[in-house]
Structure 1
Amino acid sequence: MAAAVGRLSLWLTSRVYVNRNRAPYICWRQQRGCCFSRPIGATRQYSYDSRDDLKVRYLDGEDAGIVVVGINRPKAKNSISKNLVNMMFEAVEDIKKNNKVRSVILSSLVPGIFCAGADLKERAKMHQSEVGPFVSKARALITELDNLSVPTIAAIDGAALGGGLEMALACDIRIASSSAKMGLVETQLAIIPGAGGTQRLPRIIGVSLAKELIFTARIVDGKEASRLGLVNHSVEQNDSGDAAYLYALELARQINPQGPIAVRMAKLAINQGIEVSYSNCLSTNFIKIQYKYVCLMAKVCIGKNC
């Protein structure tokens, strides 16, 4: 059946959802908006159709409001390809348009790997004229992820290297398994992190430590990453290889019941605040504008779950 569906050119993408009984199912969407679904097993199933590079789950029931974005390129170690960038852009745009979303978890569906960075095999096949636009689009994607108005959590259950770690750095919170390996290793290739790593890493762990990690292309595990402040929490990996994801899910569940407008504005205030002087942050206008907006939106949203 899957092979037959794969041959139909009108299918655009597939998404994994969870029904009210917490049973996952796949939904293929047509241009006309029709949805055909079938249940899937609890075990991880791998397909090498490019449309399976990314799985987006909008949880429901008690977990409604949580979106899980899962990278699924097992043969390429979840490396960042043109197709993955395009699919992630689409996912981010969908999230931005959905005011029911409360939090986003960025995870991997491939055991032992989060994201290995750029797809160098694909890059080697690109014409020189394609490389620049691709790098710019990948950088723009990570910026869009950073700019999402809702809290984002990276669940790092495996290696996050180069652009893969830069993607995680763009998230508000990072959870890593103790065995996960992380590093900005671009200097080994005689290049520098090109998707914001040189700016985000020092803001997260401090300038001196960021320089050390980037200059040496050093790789750290989850425990050391937690000690350095690179990740918020490090958890012991479990037999199913998804300990960081499960922790991230619990954290998202703690965010869910909080006032959604207040959470969004708190994120905006923090993000803007670290980019301006301390005195400006505490200025009457800066605080009043945000407070008035929260109060206004609270009145508008009463009874509307927005």
Structure 2
Amino acid sequence: MSGLEYIESSVVDNLAVIELNRPRQLNSLNRKMVSEIVEAMEEYDRDNHVRVIVLTGKGRAFSAGADIDEMTNDNPISLELLNQFADWDRLALIKKPIIGAVNGFVFGGGFELALCCDLLITAGGTEFAFPEVGLGVMPGAGGTQRLTKLVGRTKALEWLWTGERISAEMALAHGIINKIVVPELLMEETMKFAAKLAKQPPLSLRLIKDSVNKAVDYPLYEGMQYERKNFYLLFGSEDQKEGMNAFIEKRKPDYHGK
């Protein structure tokens, strides 16, 4: 992937790695950077060779938040016409698993970006926060919504109103992240977990993600009907036949995402 200014991307085996690459600015997110992240995600989502996408940041922080200098002179009309959050909305359309490997500071827009990942593996000592209230604003890329759905109304209000930092241990206790590892092993452990997922049948992963995302918003009955249709759909796949035949024949399955 060429012409990238603010991120780096690569494919290792069948794992795509996207790295935020503004370490001197603690990977603060400007609009061009978000656009590059989204376009890279979409390209890997279409690439049949890629099974899992890993998102991380170079340097001592995943992302300290949005680039404030870029927003200082904005007004309601300029923001409406710019429609910058349309890029963020596209992240929710990525079908493949997205694993975030985060460290250091995960603040503001960086926290919102982390919450767009499906699973988060975190280095010990990492801190999360939504400090926007201290700037007279609030999260605008889904932070109030995704955090509330994860931790509930009262805890979300506490953290959003105060802007207080959330330790990795607290984030784990409240289900924001999946695992804490020592900083030196963050990428090794993340890639190991991503490789484990990459061995699973891709269509199953895709439709499981689709169904779980619906579970967040749908009432139980409607969610179960949606799940059922995805369950039926997988019985039209080659991977389903391969998986069941491999089980009967007592061998390891070889999945191709078809």
Bin of the TM-score, shorter chain as denominator length: 0.7 to 0.9
Q: Which residue matches 2:8?
A: 55
Shift in Å at residue 167 of structure 1? Answer: 0.5
1:212-231 aligned at under 5 Å gives the runs: 212-231=158-177
Paired residue secondary structure (1:208): helix
Q: Which of 135, 140, 154 pairs up with 1:194?
A: 140
Q: Which residue matches 2:113?
A: 167
More helix per residue: 2
Paired residue secondary structure (2:96): coil
Does residue 1:289 correspond to 2:239, yes or no?
no
Paired residue secondary structure (1:224): helix
Q: 2:42, 2:94 within 8 Å by CA — same for their partners in 1?
A: no
Shift in Å at residue 183 of structure 1? Answer: 0.6
Point out where structure 2 has 5 or more consecutive residues left out of the alignment: 243-253
Q: How many residues align?
A: 246
1:112-191 aligned at under 5 Å gives the runs: 112-124=60-72, 130-134=78-82, 136-137=83-84, 139-191=85-137
Q: 2:20, 2:57 within 8 Å by CA — same for their partners in 1?
A: yes
Q: Which of 203, 216, 237 pairs up with 1:274?
A: 216
CA-atom RMSD in angstroms: 2.3
Q: 1:155 to 1:279 in 2, by over 3 A?
A: same
Does residue 1:298 correspond to 2:238, yes or no?
yes
Q: Which amino acid aligns with 2:57?
A: S
Q: 2:239, 2:256 within 8 Å by CA — same for their partners in 1?
A: no
Point out where structure 1 has 5 or more consecutive residues left out of the alignment: 1-11, 15-50
Q: Which residue matches 1:265?
A: 207
| CA–CA distance in structure 2, aligned partners of residues 190 and 171 of structure 1 | 27
Q: 1:146, 1:171 within 8 Å by CA — same for their partners in 2?
A: no
Shift in Å at residue 304 of structure 1? Answer: 8.1
Shift in Å at residue 74 of structure 1? Answer: 1.9
Larger relative contact order (CA 8 Å, sep ≥ 6): 2
| CA–CA distance in structure 1, aligned partners of residues 240 and 176 of structure 2 | 38
Q: Which residue matches 2:28?
A: 79
Paired residue secondary structure (2:56): strand
TM-score with structure 2 setting the length: 0.86
Matched residues, percent identical? Answer: 25
Q: Which amino acid aligns with 1:248?
A: T
Q: Which residue matches 1:90?
A: 39
Paired residue secondary structure (2:55): strand
Residues 69-107 of structure 1, C-alpha deviations (whole Å, 9 max, x = no match): 100012322111122122123212212321222111110
Paired residue secondary structure (2:217): coil
TM-score with structure 1 setting the length: 0.73
